[in-house]
Structures are given as structure tokens and as C-alpha cells.
Amino acid sequence: MDGIVAIHKPAGITSHDVVMRVRSITGERSSGHTGTLDPDATGLLVVCMGAATRLTRFMEEFPKRYEAEIAFGLSTMTGDASGEVVARSEGFSIPLSEAFAAFGKFVGDIQQVPPMVSAIHHRGRRLYELARQGITVERKPRAVVVYSIEPLSVSSWPSHLEHGSRGRIRVECSRGTYIRTLCEDICRSLGVAGHMSALVRTATSGFTLEQAVTLDELERMASFGSLAQAIKPSLEGVRHLPALDLTELEAGWVSHGTAFECNGGRVRSAASAATDIPYIALVRPDGSLAAIARVGRGDPGLLIQPKVVL
């Protein structure tokens, strides 16, 4: 079974647990997600199945959106509500306008130090495995992009932040951004302890939470033979790429990985695509995704070299 399914992940299970459940429900053993959600987090987890698993590296370029809650006054070992309290701030009163102004310091190209509970490898082991043993290692800052930070439900925020205050924000960012770290850094910039007390992912890999189904709903669809309602075609995962509609002859070449030349005017631009994207989606006459190809200069047109053939 080839395609993509958007799952609304509940709290309390890992992203791997979700993938295993999708495999069980659909019968497709070749399945994988496009980006981990922590066990305590909820929201959108995109799972690719069959040939679509080969598209994950292209889908990672889509921006991600989250809704997070910041708890002011307490820092934890893990940066979220599951960790042991390691620092406390009391007796502060920060005007809400000052707090909102601090958000701007973290919009744009920023550097983040990955948390110890992340899945990054360190000498062959995941950081979170070391963290569980009480081991802390030095981590190098990583470059990420935060496109926007906005307060949510402003009326629910207190006029002044004090110990125990909470407020929700919406964040749009690039891959690799750690929202718990962002929440901690915002609090630190205000001179107080703090952590991320809740997290929901609302968009990733080109899909939104509104398009997602729960695991129970997916199982129910399978029992009624209507799984197709939840499975998106592979082409949906790369719709941010420019596209080329193939002729039947070209589709045959592409199926064998054969390069060919074409007139550049045939390539359809994607509304959100940058002009320097080196890859395009090759679409069969029936509308299905045939391959992802690298584009080069031919004589006189474009040289289309299939790289990922589905």
C-alpha cells in the first residue's frame, strides 16, 4: 500500500508506537513517520507507507507549526512538564507587553542548543538514552529558523506574569527546531525559570491537523474497507516541488531511471517553491507520482534525471 496518512497522535505513546499501529491496521510493513513527536506531545504525525517512505527527505522542507504552553517560574530537567524541577523563580511580576516583546528576539535565524532528551546521536547513542542515566554531555548549537511566534488567546494571559503563570503561543518554524528549548530560552531572556508545559503539532510535512485521523478512526475505516478515505496519494507529499507532466513514452523511460531532455516551459512551478529547487516531481498521465528527478541543463532544454523512482 503506497501513500501518506496523517495521524492525530494522542499523549502517552511514542511516534514509533503510532507507526507500529499503522502497520498493523493497514498491513503495510514498510512505514515510517516524517518527524518525531515526544510521547507527552499530541497532534499531527505524518506516516508514509510503501514507496512513499522514500519521499520523507523532501517532505521535511515544509515549515512546521506548533501550539505550546509556557509555564513561568519553574524549570525542569527535561524542559517539559514530565521532568524533575531543577530551578524556581518567585517574586517576579513581568508586564505582558514585555513578555510579548521578548518573542521577537527568537524570530528569524537563531541558534539552539539541543536538549538532552532529544534523539540526536552522541558517540553512537541517543542523547535521551544518556539523559535517562543522568549523563549530560556538551551539545553544539544548531542553526534553525523561527518564522513566527504569536500569543494565543491573549485574553487568557494574565496582565503580569508571575510564578505559576501560563500562556499559550503559536510557533511556525523550520525542521530541527526544539519548542521546549524555545520556551526555556524565552523565559531565560525574561530572567526567570520556565518550561514548556504542553505541546500540540498542528502542521508538518505539508499537512495540517485538520486532515488527520485518530488511530481508532483509522482502524474503524479498515474494518469497513474504506481505508482509501484516509490514505493520501504520494504526490500530496511533494506538491511544494515544481512538476512535469509526463507523456506515456517519458513515463516508460522514467520507470527505468532513464534521463531525458525536455522544454523548460513544460515544468509547472509550485506556488511555494523557491526558484533554485534542484528537484521536480514527475507525474504520470494518470496523475500519480512517477519519480522525483534532479534538473540540469541540457542542450537546448532541461536534462531530467530520475533519482527516486516510485
38 given a catalytic annotation: yes
Contact 199, 80 (CB under 8 A): yes
Provide DSSP, 202-262: EEETTEEGGG-B-HHHHHHHHHTT-GGGTPBPGGGGGTTS-EEEPPHHHHHHHHTT--EEE
d(CA 80, CA 74): 10
DSSP state of 70: E
d(CA 156, CA 192): 20
Contact 5, 218 (CB under 8 A): yes
The one catalytic residue in 38, 109, 185, 276 is: 38
Cell numbers placing 97: 507587553
Residue 295 dihedral angles phi and psi, to the nearest 5°: -105, 130
- Amino acid sitting at position 57: R
Helices 96-103, 179-189: axis angle to 10 degrees equals: 130
Which H/E stretch holds residue 20? Answer: helix 15-26
Residue 76 dihedral angles phi and psi, to the nearest 5°: -120, 165
Residue 288 dihedral angles phi and psi, to the nearest 5°: -90, 160
Give how far the C-alpha of residue 161 lies from the chain's centroid of Cα atoms, to the nearest Å.
30
Cell numbers placing 52: 512513499
> Catalytic amino acids?
38
